[in-house]
Structure 1
Amino acid sequence: MASTILNQTIIMLILIGVGVICAKTKLISEASNKDLSKFVLQVVNPVVIFMSYQKPYKAELAKNLLLTFVISVIAMSVMISFSYILVRKKAGREFEIERFSSVYSNCGFMGIPLVNALFGDEGVFYLTAFITVFNLIVWTHGVILVSGEKDFKQVVKVFYSPTIISIILGLITFFLEIRLPDTALTALGFIKDVNTPMAMIVSGVTIAATDVPKLLKNYRVYYVCFLKLFVMPLILAVPLSLFSGFDDKVRMTVLVAAAAPPAAMCTLLSIRYGKNSVYASEIFTAGTILSVGTLPLVVKATEYLTKII
Structure 2
Amino acid sequence: MLENIQILVSQIIVMFLLMAVGFVCVRLKYLNNDGAGQLSLILTRIIAPCVVIDSFQREFDPALVTDLLAAAGCTIIAMGLSMAVGHFLFRANGPHKNFADKRMCVVFTNCGFMALPLLDALYGSYGLFLGSAFIAINNVLLWSYGVSQLCRDTTRAQKLRNAVFNPGTVSLAIGLVFFLTPLDLPQMPATCVSYLASLNTPVAMIILGAFLSQCDLRSCFQDKQVYYVTALRLLILPLITLAIFLLLPLNSILRNTMLISAAAPVAMACSMFGQVYGTDYLFSTRAVAVSTILSAITIPSIIALSGLIGG
Question: Could you say which TM-score interval applies, normalised by the shorter chain?
Answer: over 0.9
Q: Deviations over 1:141-191 (max 9, x none)?
A: 222222234433133133222322111011010011322233333222221
Instruction: Give distance in 1, aligned partners of 2:302 and 2:73.
Output: 21
Q: Assess if the C-alpha contact under 8 Å between 2:90 and 2:99 holds in 1.
A: yes
The residue that corresponds to 1:267 in the other structure is 271
> Which of 44, 50, 53 is the equivalent residue of 1:50?
53
> Which of 109, 112, 115 is the equivalent residue of 1:111?
115
Worse overlay, 28-37 or 106-115: 106-115
> Which of 15, 18, 39 is the equivalent residue of 2:42?
39
Instruction: Give distance in 2, aligned partners of 1:47 and 1:136.
Output: 18
Worse overlay, 276-285 or 46-55: 276-285
The AA in structure 2 aligned to 1:36 is L
- Measured at CA, do residues 19 and 291 of structure 1 come closer, stay the same or move farther in structure 2, by a change above 3 Å? same
Q: Deviations over 1:99-155 (max 9, x none)?
A: 210111011111211111111111111111111211122222222222234433133
1:295 lines up with 2:296 in the alignment: no
| Offset of residue 86 of structure 1 | 3.9
CA RMSD of aligned residues (A): 1.6
> Does the residue aligned with 2:183 lie in a helix, a strand or coil?
coil
Structure 1, unpaired ranges of 5+ = none
1:142 lines up with 2:146 in the alignment: yes
The residue that corresponds to 1:27 in the other structure is 30
Q: Assess if the C-alpha contact under 8 Å between 1:50 and 1:169 holds in 2.
A: yes
The AA in structure 2 aligned to 1:241 is L
Instruction: Give distance in 1, aligned partners of 2:153 and 2:262.
Output: 26
1:206 lines up with 2:211 in the alignment: yes
Q: Assess if the C-alpha contact under 8 Å between 2:136 and 2:169 holds in 1.
A: yes
- Please give the residue correspondences for 1:155-194 in structure 2 after superposition, counting only pairs within 5 Å: 155-194=160-199
Figure out how many residues of one structure are paired with residues of the other and give that number: 306
Q: Assess if the C-alpha contact under 8 Å between 1:256 and 1:299 holds in 2.
A: yes
Q: Deviations over 1:197-254 (max 9, x none)?
A: 00010111111111122112111111111110111100100011122x3232222121
> Does the residue aligned with 2:112 lie in a helix, a strand or coil?
coil
Percent identity reads 28
- Please give the residue correspondences for 1:225-264 in structure 2 after superposition, counting only pairs within 5 Å: 225-243=230-248, 245-264=249-268
> Does the residue aligned with 1:177 lie in a helix, a strand or coil?
coil
> Which of 280, 287, 304 is the equivalent residue of 2:284?
280
1:83 lines up with 2:61 in the alignment: no
Instruction: Give distance in 2, aligned partners of 1:266 and 1:151.
Output: 20
The AA in structure 1 aligned to 2:163 is V
| Offset of residue 83 of structure 1 | 2.0
Instruction: Give distance in 2, aligned partners of 1:44 and 1:27.
Output: 22
The AA in structure 1 aligned to 2:200 is N
Q: Assess if the C-alpha contact under 8 Å between 1:126 and 1:253 holds in 2.
A: yes
> Which of 65, 69, 74 is the equivalent residue of 2:68?
65
Q: Assess if the C-alpha contact under 8 Å between 1:242 and 1:306 holds in 2.
A: no
Instruction: Give distance in 1, aligned partners of 2:27 and 2:219.
Output: 18
The TM-score with structure 2 as length reference comes to: 0.93
